[in-house]
């Protein structure tokens, strides 16, 4: 088997790996690049002929991993997309929403996708070809996110390679994000391809402390009520919205928030995603392995048996379900008339588009209001500009088709950390090697390929991984200077491009 690393190398978006096993060719992920300069890249041709690809294996539903799949079908791909059923359901909504926002693909392209969800995907090997199998393992990143291990015949024996997708923060035994399952422990085989988004980051204990996060959130909500302002909380649709709503619900259930304070979810895509989370919680009520241990700690419940777990999952499902109308909803007229005190959880974590723009246009000039950012924002995004407006007075902040100077922004802008669904450096090393020297059998036996990170983050993870391997007496070597080259997994060496009919495979634009 041979692999080419199309991306992301030296960046954190545009995940795509091409693998050839004899005549069988498949991709692991096929995602959009995001950020400055990404539009032309996404609209260009693929570095392979989509008609030659037999299948795509998808790790999870974020656009930087699945966003180019509809375009594959535009260019002639006709194979299946293998993934978990949760990833299928989420990706459908994400890709449909994306079709409305840009011209990369249409709804018809999304509807052409041939989703394939094999039974028992997480519990046994699923055959792709006669001597090629795959198995999925939870990574605790978002709902349905999994690493994938491929096992194949190489000469007289078998070899395997694992792709991390994105790795979440939750170790076995609990997480500060109660709606996320824990990462699964498993044997990575001979090779591992691991993301390094936060490969240079070691988070403080406060960022992994649910109670600390709840205290901060309560403080912001009470400040908003005292000042009779609007608290705007921009959130990404998958994961972040559900975590914030859980925290608000938990504070209310603990009598720490006033029950008469309006809490509004104003986000079209996130509302549909909530429905998927609710349905999945109800489905998983029959599977004890779903519920994170931290969930029961947060709810201060002693769990005794599957029935108690099922009751809790059903209660959470009702919280997120659109049927309950738990969180209220806004029309365009409501947004234009909204006054505080109120809490608005709205779509658009970067604040660049969606309903959040209307709220910002109305409330950024109001000193009684607060914008509470809950995650990383690129410097060029509206959220990034709001974060650094005190350092750069020349920034022009675009909200609802008009520009504001920093001096015109009177609302308070602050951050609430602790919601990241990515593992930091310690978490990534734990996922690769295990928490201690007694669990090193999980580590890749040959090489660790570090991708999906800015150069500084990837280099830092390589350095830490090499040190960990030496300390534990392992022969694993880590690489981040990969480039778009081919690697022969059977011969354990970099190699030339595979050939088809005696000619190198080239892209057809």
What pLDDT does 275 receive? Answer: 87
For residue 166, give the DSSP letter.
Answer: S
pLDDT band with cut points at 50, 70 and 90 for residue 410: very high
Please report which confidence band the pLDDT of residue 79 belongs to, taking 50, 70 and 90 as the band edges.
very high
pLDDT tens digits along 378-403: 788 889 889 888 888 788 888 888 89
- In this prediction, residue 505 has a pLDDT band, given cuts at 50, 70 and 90, of very low
Predicted pLDDT at 437: 55
Q: What is the model's pLDDT at position 307?
A: 57
Tell me what pLDDT residue 501 has: 39
**Beta strands, E only, 391-509:** 397-399, 402-404, 412-415, 447-451, 477-479, 486-488, 493-495, 499-500, 503-504
Two tokens at 28? 């692991």
Residue ranges with strand state E in 72-190: 80-82, 114-116, 126-129, 132-138, 146-154, 157-163
User: What average pLDDT score do residues 126-151 get?
Assistant: 94
pLDDT at 97: 93
pLDDT value, residue 506: 29
pTM here?
A: 0.89
| pLDDT at position 449 | 94
Rounded mean pLDDT, 145-159: 93
For residue 502, the model assigns a pLDDT of: 32
Say which residue, 413 or 323, is predicted with more confidence.
413
pLDDT cut 70: percent of the chain above it: 86
Mean pLDDT of 366-384: 89
Q: Provide mean pLDDT across the span 95-112.
A: 92
Kindly indicate the confidence band of residue 287, based on its pLDDT and cuts at 50, 70 and 90: very low
Q: Is the pLDDT of residue 230 over 90?
A: yes
CATH topology of domain 205-269+325-415: Rossmann fold (3.40.50)
Lowest-pLDDT range of 21-35, 126-140, 392-406: 392-406
Least confident of 79-83, 168-172, 286-290: 286-290
Where is pLDDT greater, at 425 or 307? 425
Residues 6+ apart with CB under 8 A from 315: none
Q: Decide yes or no: CATH 3.60.15.10 for domain 2-34+46-202+420-500.
A: yes
Least confident span in 83-87, 212-216, 233-237, 319-323? 319-323
Tell me, yes or no, if the two domains 2-34+46-202+420-500 and 205-269+325-415 fold the same way.
no
HEC states along 71-101? HHHHCCCCCEEECCHHHHHHHHHHHHHHHHH
Domain boundaries, the chain: 2-34+46-202+420-500, 205-269+325-415
Query: In the prediction, which pLDDT does 500 show?
Result: 56
- Mean pLDDT lowest among 55-64, 78-87, 288-297, 402-411: 288-297
With 60 as the cut, is the pLDDT of residue 215 above it? yes
Looking at residue 289, its pLDDT comes to 40
pLDDT of 313: 58
Alpha carbon distance 391, 388 (integer Å): 5
Tell me which DSSP letter residue 190 carries.
S
Question: Quick count: other Cβ atoms within 10 Å of Cβ 222?
Answer: 16
Rounded CA-CA distance 425/404 in Å is: 38
Q: What's the mean pLDDT in 358-384?
A: 90
Among 198, 202, 258, smallest CA distance to 228 is for 258
Q: pLDDT at position 320, please?
A: 64
Q: Cβ of 187: how many Cβ atoms within 10 Å? A: 13
Computed over every residue of the chain, the mean pLDDT equals 85
How far apart are the C-alpha atoms of 185 and 386, rounded to whole Å? 40
pLDDT given for residue 226 in this prediction: 93
For residue 225, name the pLDDT band (cuts at 50, 70, 90). Answer: very high
């Amino acid at each position: 088997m041979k692999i080419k690393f199309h991306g992301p190398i030296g960046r954190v978006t545009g995940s795509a790996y091409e693998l050839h096993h004899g005549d069988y060719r498949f991709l692991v992920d096929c995602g959009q690049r995001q950020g400055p300069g990404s539009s032309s890249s996404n609209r260009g041709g693929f570095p392979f002929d989509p008609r030659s690809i037999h299948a795509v294996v998808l790790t999870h539903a974020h656009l930087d991993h699945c966003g180019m799949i509809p375009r594959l079908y535009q260019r002639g791909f006709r194979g299946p997309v293998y993934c978990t059923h949760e990833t299928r359901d989420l990706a459908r909504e994400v890709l449909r929403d994306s079709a409305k926002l840009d011209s990369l693909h249409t709804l018809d392209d999304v509807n052409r996708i041939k989703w394939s969800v094999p039974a028992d995907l997480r519990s046994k090997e699923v055959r792709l070809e006669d001597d090629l199998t795959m198995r999925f393992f939870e990574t605790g990143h978002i709902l349905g996110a999994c690493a994938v291990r491929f096992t194949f015949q190489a000469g007289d024996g078998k070899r395997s390679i694992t792709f991390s997708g994105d790795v979440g923060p939750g170790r076995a035994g609990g997480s500060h994000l109660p709606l996320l399952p824990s990462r699964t422990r498993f044997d990575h085989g001979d090779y591992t391809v691991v993301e390094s988004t936060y490969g240079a980051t070691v988070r403080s204990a406060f960022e992994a402390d649910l109670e600390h996060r709840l205290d901060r959130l309560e403080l912001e909500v009470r400040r908003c009520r005292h000042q009779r302002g609007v608290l705007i909380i921009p959130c990404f649709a998958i994961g972040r919205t559900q975590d914030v709503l859980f925290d608000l619900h938990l504070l209310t259930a603990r009598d720490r928030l006033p029950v008469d304070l309006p809490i509004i979810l104003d986000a079209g895509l996130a509302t549909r995603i909530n429905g998927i989370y609710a349905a999945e919680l109800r489905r998983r009520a029959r599977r004890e392995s779903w519920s994170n241990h931290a969930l029961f700690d947060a709810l201060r419940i002693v769990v005794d048996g599957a029935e108690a777990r099922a009751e809790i999952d059903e209660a959470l499902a009702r919280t997120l379900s659109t049927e309950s109308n738990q969180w209220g909803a806004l029309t365009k007229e409501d947004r234009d008339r909204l006054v505080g005190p109120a809490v608005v959880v709205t779509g658009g974590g970067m604040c660049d588009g969606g309903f959040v723009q209307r709220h910002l246009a109305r409330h950024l000039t109001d000193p009684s209001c607060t914008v509470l950012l809950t995650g990383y924002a690129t410097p060029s995004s509206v959220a990034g500009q709001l974060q650094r407006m005190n350092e750069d007075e020349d920034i022009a902040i675009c909200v609802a088709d008009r520009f504001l100077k920093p001096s015109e922004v009177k609302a308070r802008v602050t951050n609430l950390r602790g919601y990241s669904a990515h593992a930091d450096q310690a978490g990534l090393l734990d996922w690769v090697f295990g928490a201690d020297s007694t669990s090193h059998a999980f580590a890749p036996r040959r090489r660790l390929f570090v991708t999906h990170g800015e150069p500084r983050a990837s280099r830092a993870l390589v350095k830490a991984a090499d040190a960990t391997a030496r300390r534990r007496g392992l022969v694993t070597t880590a690489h981040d200077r990969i480039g778009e080259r081919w690697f022969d997994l059977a011969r354990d060496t970099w190699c030339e491009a595979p050939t088809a009919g005696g000619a190198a495979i080239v892209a057809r634009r």
